């Protein structure tokens, strides 16, 4: 079989040599080129705090290595295939987890990738492909960062020219290891070329590529899936298929060869059957009887001679065999005696060595046990860097996302208790105690107390008394028009009566004090109280939503209303003004600027 290898340049050489040694004819024809991409420091930053790092291919490993990134030493590494895992070990000196099934589905079935909620995962990949991994990890709640470090590009050539060359050299099988290679081969072909190509056998690296090939109307019987993209997996797949074809071809000529001798045998048998019939007519009964007797006598004499000769020969042979057998048995007995002596000597030496080894092992075990007990006294258990990093991140989340300073302090206290059991963590604990002092110095806003105080003022709004006009008592003066009871003063009484008549229609009364405030109608009073309640409710909402500017504006407006429209010497008004004045002096710093010193210390320690 003539096999065409389409892998990028430099990747199919070993597979081609292995196939040639097995008797295959091979041709290397790369259809893709690999270009490493330039990635900035911000895109590489997630690697420093990653919990898990997944490498899609060897090219992803080599491309990332050229960028000299800083990788979290506590991160778990994963590779889709064994060759990718080997590349990870060569590049970074660390082992990567590999699934039994070398594809995206096999990787996602690993137990350590099932519960990844809120885990920082970095997917190191090429441009395009492997969308299943990213989509599934996001559905499982992971915090995913996709780091694209290379891209595949089709070689600038006309696929039609490839097809002409491949048809000329009679290519029978094609090796494909990516969907991009499928596109590079099938794009731009005319119908006859496409029809010829679909009749070839395709050896692919995964079920994903097989499904992609079927979209090009390639029959499933023409597609053979290897156990991965490695050279060994591809060779095994090709060799198995080649062996099946060889067996199928070898069975057909065998039937044709066996058919001819049967026909000849029948012809010979038929001709042999006719010959005796023709010869029988020329022989008499007497001659036949004489010939039969002669044959019997000759047979008897020959049998006796042969039997005697054979008997003598058999006796000599049997004697020689017995002699040789005795010699072999004696040699075996001597060898067994020698082996027994050697075994006894070896057994004695082995017992002595075992005794010495046991004594030495007992001493070493005792020493190791004492050393382990000594270490156990100093350190109860091994400190897990991932647990320390997780607690630090939780404290940062409490501080920045929830503004829960007491909660952040509680998490840092828990981290300090954990580190207290381990030596060599003094710098981190010192930074943690500085952060605890900072957090404890922050006075939390008494949101609940302010809210309830505003609620109490709001409940007393209906009991406030409005300002009213203060009218003084009228000045009482002696009436000069008072009638006299003396009859002789009738003239004066007549004049006084006329004056009283005029005063009945026109009266002028005087007051000594001034008007304090204008009158308010009942509707106006209702609106003033509604407006005051609205300002107080707005201040309550501002406290709950942590909007300090809105809160102070609403409290000041409420204070002005009480001062302008309500009776100042009333006890309820005085209490309301006093409470509003105190509320306007509250310190509402909901988001003080705080930076944790322990963050950098933990990051340096984890590295």
Residues 470-523 have pLDDT tens digits of: 555 555 556 666 777 777 777 787 787 777 777 766 665 555 544 444 457 888
Domain-embedded: residue 93: yes
Domain-embedded: residue 480: yes
Per-residue confidence band for 201, with pLDDT thresholds at 50, 70 and 90: very high
Could you list the beta-strand ranges (E) of 120-255.
Answer: 120-126, 143-154, 173-176, 201-204, 223-225
3-class state of residue 381 by DSSP: coil
Stretch (H or E) spanning 529: helix 522-544
Q: Looking at 148-152, 381-385, 456-460, which range is the least confident one? A: 381-385
Stretch (H or E) spanning 52: strand 52-55
Domain's final residue, options 137, 154, 171: 154
The one-character DSSP state at 215 is T
Q: Domain check: are 567 and 451 in the same one? A: yes
Stretch (H or E) spanning 83: helix 82-92
Residue 455 or residue 494, greater confidence? 455
Q: How many CB atoms lie within 10 A of CB 392?
A: 23
* Average pLDDT for 221-250: 80
Domain-embedded: residue 519: yes
pLDDT at 350 > cutoff 50: yes
Sheet hosting strand 173-176, strand order edge to edge:
25-28, 2-5, 173-176, 201-204, 223-225
Q: Looking at 133-137, 284-288, 376-380, which range is the least confident one? A: 376-380
Q: Is the dihedral of CA 42, 47, 48, 50 positive or negative?
A: positive
Q: Domain check: are 79 and 141 in the same one? A: yes
pLDDT at 278 > cutoff 70: no
Domain-embedded: residue 377: no
Q: Domain check: are 114 and 8 in the same one? A: no
pLDDT at 279 (0 to 100)? 36
pTM exceeds 0.85 for this model: no
* Average pLDDT for 329-357: 73
* Average pLDDT for 99-106: 87
Q: Looking at 66-75, 178-187, 197-206, which range is the least confident one? A: 178-187
Q: Domain check: are 24 and 76 in the same one? A: no
Q: Domain check: are 431 and 411 in the same one? A: yes
14-23, 161-170, 257-266: which is most confident:
14-23
Q: Domain check: are 492 and 511 in the same one? A: yes
* Average pLDDT for 241-251: 65
pLDDT at 97 (0 to 100)? 93
- Alpha helices for 379-462 (secondary structure H): 385-400, 405-419, 426-441, 447-459
* Average pLDDT for 290-314: 64
Domain-embedded: residue 353: no
Domain-embedded: residue 80: yes
Comparing CA positions, the residue from 297, 182, 175, 183 lying closest to residue 230 is: 175
pLDDT at 297 > cutoff 80: no
Domain-embedded: residue 218: yes
Q: Domain check: are 574 and 498 in the same one? A: yes
pLDDT at 188 > cutoff 70: yes
Per-residue confidence band for 275, with pLDDT thresholds at 50, 70 and 90: very low
Write the CATH number for 47: 3.40.50.10090
pLDDT at 255 (0 to 100)? 39
- Residue 404, domain extent: 385-442+599-606
Q: Looking at 83-92, 380-389, 572-581, which range is the least confident one? A: 380-389
pLDDT at 265 (0 to 100)? 35
Q: Domain check: are 513 and 469 in the same one? A: yes
**Tally of structural domains, the chain:** 4
Domain's final residue, options 106, 129, 154: 154
pLDDT tens, residue by residue, 524-543: 888 988 998 999 999 899 88
Domain's final residue, options 236, 267, 290: 236
Residue 438 or residue 291, greater confidence? 438
Domain-embedded: residue 137: yes
Q: Domain check: are 115 and 44 in the same one? A: yes
pLDDT at 256 > cutoff 80: no
Residue 272 or residue 359, greater confidence? 359
pLDDT at 294 (0 to 100)? 67
Q: Domain check: are 134 and 183 in the same one? A: no
Q: Domain check: are 554 and 456 in the same one? A: yes
Mean pLDDT, the chain, as a whole number?
Answer: 78
Per-residue confidence band for 415, with pLDDT thresholds at 50, 70 and 90: confident
Residue 474 or residue 595, greater confidence? 595
pLDDT at 473 (0 to 100)? 53
Q: Domain check: are 17 and 53 in the same one? A: no
């Amino acid at each position: 079989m003539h096999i065409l290898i389409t892998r990028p340049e430099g990747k199919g050489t070993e597979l081609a040599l292995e196939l040639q040694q097995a008797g295959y004819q091979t041709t290397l024809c790369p259809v893709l080129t690999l270009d490493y991409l330039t990635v900035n420091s911000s895109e590489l930053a997630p690697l420093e705090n990653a919990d898990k790092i997944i490498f899609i291919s060897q090219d992803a490993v080599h491309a990332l290595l050229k960028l000299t990134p800083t990788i979290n030493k506590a991160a778990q590494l994963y590779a889709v295939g064994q060759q990718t895992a080997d590349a990870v070990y060569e590049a970074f000196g660390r082992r990567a987890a590999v699934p039994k099934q070398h594809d995206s589905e096999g990787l996602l079935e690993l137990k350590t990738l099932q519960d990844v909620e809120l885990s920082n995962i970095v997917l190191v990949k090429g441009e395009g492909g492997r969308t299943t991994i990213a989509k599934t990890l996001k559905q499982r709640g992971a915090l995913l960062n996709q780091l694209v470090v290379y891209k595949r590009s089709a070689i600038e050539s006309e696929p039609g020219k490839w097809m002409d060359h491949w048809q000329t050299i009679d290519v029978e099988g094609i090796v494909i290891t990516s969907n991009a290679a499928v596109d590079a081969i099938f794009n731009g072909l005319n119908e006859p070329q496409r029809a010829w190509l679909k009749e070839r056998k395709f050896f692919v690296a995964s079920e994903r590529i097989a499904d992609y090939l079927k979209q090009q109307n390639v029959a499933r019987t023409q597609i053979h899936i290897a156990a991965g993209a490695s050279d060994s997996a591809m060779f095994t797949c090709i060799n198995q298929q080649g062996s099946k074809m060889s067996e199928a071809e070898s069975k057909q000529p065998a039937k044709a060869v066996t058919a001819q001798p049967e026909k000849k045998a029948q012809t010979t048998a038929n001709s042999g059957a006719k010959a005796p019939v023709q010869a029988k007519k020329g022989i008499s009964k007497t001659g036949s009887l004489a010939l039969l007797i002669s044959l019997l006598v000759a047979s008897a004499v020959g049998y006796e001679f042969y039997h005697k000769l054979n008997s003598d020969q058999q006796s000599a042979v049997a004697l020689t065999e017995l002699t040789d057998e005795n010699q072999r048995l004696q040699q075996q007995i001597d060898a067994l005696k020698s082996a027994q002596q050697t075994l006894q000597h070896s057994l004695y030496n082995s017992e002595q060595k075992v005794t010495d080894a046991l004594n030495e092992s007992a001493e070493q075990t005792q020493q190791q046990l004492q050393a382990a007990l000594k270490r156990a006294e100093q350190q109860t258990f091994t400190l897990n860097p991932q647990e320390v990093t997780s607690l630090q991140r939780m404290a940062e989340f409490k501080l920045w996302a929830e503004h829960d300073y007491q909660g952040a302090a509680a998490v840092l206290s828990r981290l300090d208790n954990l580190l207290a059991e381990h030596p060599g963590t003094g710098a981190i604990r010192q930074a943690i105690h500085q952060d605890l002092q900072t957090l404890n110095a922050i006075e939390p806003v008494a949101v609940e107390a302010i809210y309830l105080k505003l609620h109490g003022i709001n409940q007393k709004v209906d009991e406030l008394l409005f300002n009213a006009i203060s009218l003084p008592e009228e000045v009482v003066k002696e009436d000069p028009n008072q009638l006299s009871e003396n009859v002789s003063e009738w003239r004066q009484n007549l004049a006084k009566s006329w004056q009283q008549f005029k005063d009945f229609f026109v009266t002028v009364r005087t007051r000594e004090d001034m008007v304090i405030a204008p009158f308010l109608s009942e509707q106006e009073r209702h609106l003033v109280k509604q407006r005051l309640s609205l300002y107080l409710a707005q201040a309550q909402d501002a406290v709950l939503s942590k909007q300090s500017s809105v809160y102070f504006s609403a409290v000041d407006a409420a204070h002005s209303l009480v001062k302008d429209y309500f009776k100042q010497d009333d006890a309820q008004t005085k209490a309301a003004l006093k409470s509003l004045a105190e509320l306007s002096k509250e310190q509402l710093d909901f988001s003080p600027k705080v930076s944790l010193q322990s963050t950098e210390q933990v990051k340096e320690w984890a590295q």
